[in-house]
Amino acid sequence: MTRGSHNRIRSWLLPKLAAKDMSVAQLAAAIGVSRAAVYLYLNDQSRPTGYHMARICQVLGVPIEEGLGTYVPKRTGRPRTRNF
């Protein structure tokens, strides 16, 4: 996802948390990360690892496939430039 693009994790996760009446702090404790890490996921400044995404699904009681459908790993390495 690039800056300004739709944050799929946020739009998927927030309604699930509300339905479970669960706070960000409770989710963070349940999956073993800091509250700040979850806020970074929600603000698209970081991405959960595949392991943490699977834990999120387990805690929320949703199929892992559903969660991984929202998961887009962050690109690593240098951005490619165009040669004209």
CA angle 56, 61, 66 (to 5 degrees): 70
The terminus-to-terminus CA distance of the chain in angstroms comes to 25
Please report the pLDDT score of residue 1 as a whole number: 41
pLDDT in tens, the chain (84 residues): 444 445 688 889 999 999 999 999 999 999 999 999 999 999 988 888 889 999 999 999 999 888 877 766 666 666 666 666
The amino acid occupying position 44 is: D
Cβ contacts of residue 14 below 8 Å, gap of 6+? 42
Q: pTM for the whole thing?
A: 0.75
Cβ contacts of residue 30 below 8 Å, gap of 6+? 55, 59
Domains of the chain: 8-70 (1.10.260.40)
